[in-house]
A = this chain, B = another copy of it.
Amino acid sequence: MSTHPVTSYIPSSTWAIIEDKFTPYGKETLSQLIKFLEDEVFPSLSLAEAQLPEDPERRWKTIIPIVAELKAKAKKLGLWNLFLSKAHYPQFGTPLTNLEYAVMAEIMGRGGHVASEAVNCSAPDTGNMEVLAKYGSPEQQQRWLVPLLNGEIRSAFAMTERFVASSDATNIKTSIRKEGNEIIINGHKWWISGAGDPRAKLHLVMGKSDPNNPEKHQQQSIVIVPADTPGVKIIRPMKVFGYDDAPEGHCEVIYENVRVPISNLIWDWGKGFEIIQGRLGPGRIHHCMRSIGVAQRALDLMIERVTDPGRKTFGKYLHQHGTVIADIAVSRAEIESARLLVLSAALQIDKFQAKGALKEIGIAKFVVPSMALRVVDRAIQSFGAEGVSQDTFLARAMAGLRTLRIADGPDAVHIQQVGQRELRRADELRQRSQKTKAKETALWRKNGLKL
């Protein structure tokens, strides 16, 4: 029977299914990560919040000291860039599979942004590093990827546009135009995560370089824009249910006649769509992994709450109310089934890359945030008003999870795409049915009957 420390975070029945797919290195790294999170990160969460000034100006110029400390420690321990699987990124990656990272990401999810950043696994940097590792020129990699991998700078990814139904990415309007040796960018983006951070040195900007191309998925290109290029205007932070998520933020950004050298084009003209396809898959699943961790943390907190000996209502402890017990049982079941879906998708990515795991990723993407919302919602209810306040992590988690039902494609888009993929099984199913039918008819005939 395993005594790996991970079993205090995921059920041992789950660990039993996946343990034999972990390498010794994977198991060891997981142990070290858990120790680091428990010893260093989880106790730092409240301090990180306290170190962010309330002042509306200063909070956007702050590098939170404790986070910087944690980064240094994690890097020294080799708990760094765990998301980048060597199998897919041989030159830069870590010798971990997506499945192994999935379990790590879940536990990191319990530590919010701080935990991810501590081990240099924060969105949108992760996706941007993947893009640069896969499609960047050697010069681009030298200038931008290396410091990102080192955690020295941060980055933004600029796709979503204001005034545009950009859940369908073919709708984007930002113009990317070649002029001599330069590229000129004009566009109005928003929800550009990380753009508020003083350390964000580059934006990957997606726009249309060939808007009249009849092939709608070849109209887009992606360009590296240094954050300090003239014409890059951070308009305002978008808020999420009242939270500004400073210092990273989710900013409204206008690119006005922004000029960059032509060497800043990533890969090639018209490759924008293909790049984001590859980029979003793992990113989506990382969000799901962390969301499982958030849900599990909420359930754990709820269990502590309802067994609190100080909480008695109507003559019973909270945990003696049948409806509370039911909420806990259902949450347990929902988390566990969603976790298994995510692990299954991660394994599929390991086997067939993100492109070969689109159905599994899509399922996880529309199942997990809703599931986690339900669990967090029940936990909030068990806390009463405290649950919607600043005194637990629950309200903020709900805001984040609710946004995740929209970010990287709203639920409806993933549901439709999964449904469409599932419908492709129709021919195979029909053939199988016809075979059975033929045998059935023969059998009736043999028995002197007519079907």
Residues of A within 8 A of B (CB): 1, 8, 11, 13-14, 16-18, 20-21, 38-39, 42-47, 50, 54-56, 66, 160, 163, 165-168, 171, 190-191, 238-243, 250, 300, 303-304, 306-307, 310-314, 318-319, 321-330, 332-333, 336-338, 340-341, 343-345, 347-348, 351, 357, 359-360, 362-363, 366-367, 377, 380-381, 384-385, 387-391, 395-396, 398-399, 402-403, 405-407, 410-420, 422-423, 425-426, 428-430, 432-433, 435-437, 439-440, 442-444, 447, 449, 451
Contacts and interface: CB of A to CB of B under 8 A. Distances in A.
A391 B160 CA distance: 16
Contacts of A44: 440, 443
5 smallest CB-CB distances across A and B, nearest first, come from: A242-B242, A325-B419, A322-B322, A43-B439, A329-B419
Contacts of A14: 344
Contact of A337 (B312, B340, B425): B340
Given A38-B436, A43-B436, A429-B303, A422 B241 contact: no
* Interface-central residue, A13, A163, A426, by most chain B CB under 10 Å: A13
Nearest to A411: B381
Given A329-B416, A341-B333, A388-B240, A163 B347 contact: no
Contacts of A21: 20
Name A's interface SS. helix
Contacts of A165: 310-313, 318, 384
Contact of A56 (B54, B411, B439): B54
A242 B396 contact: yes
B363 A412 contact: no
Contacts of A362: 329
Contacts of A307: 423, 426, 430
Contacts of A389: 238-240
Nearest to A442: B43
Given A47-B440, A381-B412, A20 B17 contact: no
A426 B47 contact: no
Nearest to A313: B168
A310 B163 contact: yes
B16 A416 contact: no
A405 B433 contact: no
B422 A323 contact: no
7 contacts: A167-B313, A307-B426, A307-B430, A322-B324, A337-B340, A385-B407, A387-B406
Contacts of A381: 405-406, 410-412
A43 to B, nearest CB: 4
Contacts of A428: 8
Contact of A171 (B47, B312, B319, B390): B312
A30 B387 CA distance: 38
A344 B191 contact: no
A396 B18 CA distance: 37
Contacts of A447: 47, 66
Contacts of A437: 43
A207 to B, nearest CB: 18
A136 to B, nearest CB: 28
A291 B92 CA distance: 46
A167 to B, nearest CB: 6
